[in-house]
Structures are given as C-alpha cells and as structure tokens.
C-alpha cells in the first residue's frame, strides 16, 4: 500500500466544536492524504471546556496563543503556526479562512508546496468589519495574496463562490457544509411547539427579534443553543420571559438529540451591513433539514433558492410581525406545516455530506 501524503490544516477556531472541519478532516482520510490539524486551543466560554475530543482517525495539534482577540491575536497565532511548521515535513498546506493565510502562504512559498484555501465565509466582509475601511482593505489584500498562491480555492456556497471569483479573479469550488447522511427517525416531540436557534449569539443573527416575538407567542417555547458576544445582553433582554431557555454550548451529540424534538429551526440574518451574511449558507439550515424541522430563514440568495427547490422551509422579511404571523399560521394550518416537514425528508436525501464530500475528495487529487 502506498504511503499517504501529509496535509497540514490550520484554523484559528477550536476544532473540537467545529463540525465542518471534523467532516472535512475525516473525508480527507479517505483520500491519498493524511491530515494533521493545527487549531486554536482556547474556549471563550466556561462550558466550552466540557466539549470532549473524540477518537479521531487523524492527528490534532492544539496551539495556545497568549493573545485572545484582535490584530495581536492574528499576528501572534500566524507567527506560532509558521515556526511550529517551519521544519515540519508535509506535501501540502490547507488554510481555513483568511486568518491563517499569512503563515500558510509563507510556508507554501518557502517549501514550494501546494496550498489549499478554504473560505468558510466572506472574511473581509464580516459584520465586525462594517465601517472599518482600513481593516477591510488589509483583509482583502491578504486574501488576494492567498488566492494567488493557492492551487485550489474552496468555499461553502455556490453564490459565494461566484462572488469570490469575481472579486479575487480565480475560480472557487463549492463544498457545502451539509449534515451527515442519516435516516430521519420518529421522535417524541417536546410538549408545546418549540423553536430552536443553534449557533453563535452574535450581531446580525436577529436574536433580539426572536426574543421580542416570543412575547406574542405564548403557546410556543424557544431554545437558544450557543454562546457569543451578545450572550449577556440577550439573556438580560429575555428576563421575565417564561418561554425562552438558553442552553449554552452543547456537544454535537447533544444537539442532534434535542433538535429533532423541536417544531421549527430559526435562521434569520441581518445582511444589511455584511456581504458575508448576504452570501451565507449556514450549516444550521441543513441541520434543521436532517432533524425534519421546517426552517425559518431570511430572504437571502442561497435560502431562497433552496426553499424554492425543496419547499422545506420559509423565507421571511426580518420583522417580528412576519415571524409571529408565520408561527400563528402554522399553528392554525397544521396541514401546511406538515407538507414542509415531509419535504425535509426528500431534501435530506439529496443534501448530505455522503454526497458532498466527493467534491472535496476530487479537488485533492493533485
């Protein structure tokens, strides 16, 4: 049997809570490559430390940074990556998002090894950079530099692939962050109709809208799963609401157990100040499909296209009134809701990682 080639992957997030990267690394082991994952060893939230490391079939290497945020973190983390990997033998590098490009472009050039650039979002156009012209220009410049060096460029959605090719002048392949294939099973739903949100509690996720709507939806319950910059503010906003529960960070296994018991999945985004959000295709959209939940998404390109094709969710204007009206409509018209729920079964058959990973594997045949 031929010896596998080493592929070093770098990401600034925590690999143990990143289901997309776990899927990608696992898929890579099915090719001629052997991945080694270098990731940020940092939990911003206390209950993140409860996340355990499963028995991966590949090596993972946590990297601990003195700095936790801002430009000093990105510079220091890339410096750590560069010197840790400078004399590490490998046949290729895999940079996850623009914030690992500085180290990986230099390593790729120095060792004359191919670089894969995987853009999980439109990094220079994230909400946090809205109004910060200089920082945007720097991230665009760094991304352009990385794209020019990369042998393969990947991103998470077809619409974003088109936009990134337009901006950076090189084709991007689409490898969507779809959920693992698994037959939908009948489960005992929670008592009462439960809306679930899973993901970061950050700006632009329209979570304030969701909380405010729950006041007008006494027959519904809401589960908020995740943590983020707005964790404290959102909990304060929900004080006095008896039908909203914050569960914090959950492991993927816990989330897969809870989500199918819910009634619908929430996925509204405010894309007015973020092209990254405008072109997004979130993993939670597919998680909801595989849990047999009709989803509630914003009127953004990827979700409009998928809902038109599969009719397994609804796209709404970002308003409390629209959300309240939809949930009351579903309550009073159970047959309309049931059609959407039934269609998730067909959508899951065609939108799953078993099929999607073949695209990734074909891209790594160099």
Q: How many CB atoms lie within 10 A of CB 185?
A: 7
- Counts for the chain of helices (H) and strands (E), in that order: 14, 13
Q: What is the Cα Rg of the chain in Å?
A: 21
Class assignment of domain 193-350? alpha beta
Q: What local confidence, expressed as pLDDT, does residue 44 receive?
A: 67
Structure tokens at 85: 């990997």
Q: What local confidence, expressed as pLDDT, does residue 78 receive?
A: 98
Q: What local confidence, expressed as pLDDT, does residue 305 receive?
A: 97
Q: What local confidence, expressed as pLDDT, does residue 253 receive?
A: 84
Question: Helix 158-168 vs helix 301-310: angle between axes, to the nearest 10 degrees?
Answer: 150
Q: Is the pTM of this model over 0.95?
A: no
- Which positions of the chain have pLDDT values less than 70? 1-2, 43-54
> How many residues are recorded in the chain?
366
Query: For the structural domain made of 5-178+354-363, what CATH number should be given?
Result: 3.40.50.2000
Read off the DSSP letter of residue 29: T
Q: Where in the chain is the domain with CATH 3.40.50.2000?
A: 5-178+354-363, 193-350
Q: What local confidence, expressed as pLDDT, does residue 252 receive?
A: 82
């Amino acid at each position: 049997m031929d010896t596998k080639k080493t592929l070093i992957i770098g990401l600034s997030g925590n690999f143990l809570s990143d289901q997309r990267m776990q899927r990608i690394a696992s898929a890579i082991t099915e090719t001629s490559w052997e991945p080694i994952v270098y990731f940020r060893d940092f939990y911003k939230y206390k209950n993140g430390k409860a996340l355990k490391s499963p028995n991966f079939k590949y090596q993972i290497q946590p990297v601990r940074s003195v700095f936790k945020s801002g430009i000093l973190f990105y510079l220091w983390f890339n410096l750590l990556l560069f010197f840790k990997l400078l004399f590490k033998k490998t046949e290729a590098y895999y940079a996850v998002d623009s914030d690992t490009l500085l180290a990986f472009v230099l390593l790729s050039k120095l060792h004359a090894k191919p670089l894969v650039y995987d853009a999980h979002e439109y990094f220079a156009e994230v909400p946090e950079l809205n109004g910060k012209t200089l920082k945007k220009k720097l991230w665009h410049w760094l991304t352009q530099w990385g794209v020019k060096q990369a042998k393969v460029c990947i991103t998470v959605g077809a619409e974003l692939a088109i936009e990134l090719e337009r901006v950076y002048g090189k084709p991007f392949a689409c490898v969507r962050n779809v959920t693992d294939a698994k037959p939908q099973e009948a489960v005992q739903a929670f008592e009462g109709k439960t809306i679930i949100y899973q993901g970061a509690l950050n700006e632009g996720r329209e979570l304030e809208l969701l909380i405010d709507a729950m006041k007008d939806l006494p027959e519904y319950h809401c589960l908020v799963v995740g943590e983020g910059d707005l964790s404290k503010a959102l909990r304060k906003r929900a004080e006095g609401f008896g039908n909203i529960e914050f569960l914090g960070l959950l492991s993927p296994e816990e989330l897969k157990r809870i989500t199918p018991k819910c009634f619908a999945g929430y996925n509204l985004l405010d894309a007015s100040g973020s092209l990254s959000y405008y072109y997004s295709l979130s993993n939670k959209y597919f998680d909801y499909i595989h849990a047999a939940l009709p989803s509630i998404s914003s009127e953004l390109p990827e979700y409009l296209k998928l809902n038109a094709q599969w009719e397994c969710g609804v796209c709404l204007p970002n308003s409390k009134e629209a959300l309240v009206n939809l949930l009351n409509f579903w309550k009073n018209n159970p047959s309309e809701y049931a059609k959407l729920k039934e269609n998730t079964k067909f959508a899951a058959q065609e939108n799953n990682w078993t099929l999607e990973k073949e695209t990734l594997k074909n891209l790594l045949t160099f």
